[in-house]
Amino acid sequence: MQKLSSNADWATRARAVLPGGGFGNFDPSVFIKSGSGARVIDEDGREYVDYLIGSGPMLLGHDNAEVLEAIYETLPRGLTFFANNATAIELAEEICRAVPGGEQLRYVSSGGEADMYAMRLARAYTGRDKIVKFEGGYHGMSAEAQMSLAPEKRANFPQAIPDSAGIPPSVAAEMLIAPFNDFDYIRSLMAEWGPKVAAIIVEPLQRIIPPLPGYLQLLREEADKYGCLLVFDEVVTGFRLSYGGAQELYCVTPDITTLGKAIGGGFPLAALVASAEIMAHFDKTQVGAEGWLMQLGTLSGNPVAAAAGLKTLEILRRDGQYDTLRANGQRVMNMTRTALDATGFGYEIVGDPTLFEVVFTDAPVRDYRDVQSSNTARATAYNETLRQEGIFKAAGKTYPSLPLTEGDFAITEAAIQKAAADLT
pLDDT tens column, 34-73: 999 999 999 999 999 999 999 999 999 999 999 999 999 9
Q: Which helix H or strand E contains 126, and what residues bound it?
A: helix 111-126
The mean per-residue pLDDT over the stretch 200-221 comes to: 98
Q: What's residue 98's pLDDT?
A: 97
311 in active site: no
Alpha-carbon distance of 367 to 252, in angstroms, equals 20
Q: Is the pLDDT of residue 274 over 70?
A: yes
Residue among 184, 159, 151, 205 nearest 365 (CA): 205
Confidence of residue 329 (pLDDT cuts 50, 70, 90): very high
Mean pLDDT on 19-47? 96
Q: Name the residue ranges covered by the structural domains of the chain.
A: 31-63+320-421, 66-316
User: Of the residues 48, 107, 138, 368, which is catalytic?
Assistant: 138
Between CA 359 and CA 294 the distance in angstroms is 42
> How distant is the alpha carbon of residue 202 from its chain centre?
12
Catalytic annotation, pick one of 42, 117, 250, 261? 261
| Per-residue model confidence (pLDDT) at position 56 | 96
Give the model's pLDDT for residue 153: 87
Q: Are 332 and 412 in contact (CB under 8 A)?
A: yes
- Is residue 233 flagged as an active site residue? yes
What is the C-alpha separation between 11 and 6, in angstroms, rounded? 9
SS3 57: coil
pTM assigned to the model: 0.96
CA geometry: angle at 310 spanning 282 and 109, to 5°? 45
pLDDT attached to residue 33: 97
pLDDT of residue 2 exceeding 60, the answer is no
Q: Is 130 a catalytic residue?
A: no
What local confidence, expressed as pLDDT, does residue 152 receive? 87
Domain 31-63+320-421 has CATH 3.90.1150.10: yes
Mean pLDDT value across the chain:
97
- pLDDT tens-place string over residues 113-134: 999 999 999 999 999 999 999 9
Give pLDDT, residue 4.
Answer: 58
Q: Would you say 200 and 155 are in contact if contact means Cβ atoms under 8 Å apart?
A: no
Please report, to the nearest 10 degrees, the dihedral formed by the alpha carbons of residues 79, 80, 84, 88 taken in order. Answer: 60
Query: Which entry of 42, 115, 233, 370 is annotated as an active-site residue?
Result: 233
Q: Where are the beta strands (DSSP E) in 137-204?
A: 175-178, 197-202
Residue 3, pLDDT > 60, answer no
Q: Is 84 a residue whose pLDDT tops 90?
A: yes
Domain 66-316, classified CATH 3.30.300.30, yes or no:
no
Across residues 338-349, what is the average pLDDT?
A: 98
pLDDT more than 90, % of the chain: 98
> Do the strands 104-108 and 270-274 form a parallel or antiparallel pair, or are they unpaired?
antiparallel
Residue 1's pLDDT is 43
Mean pLDDT across 325-351: 98
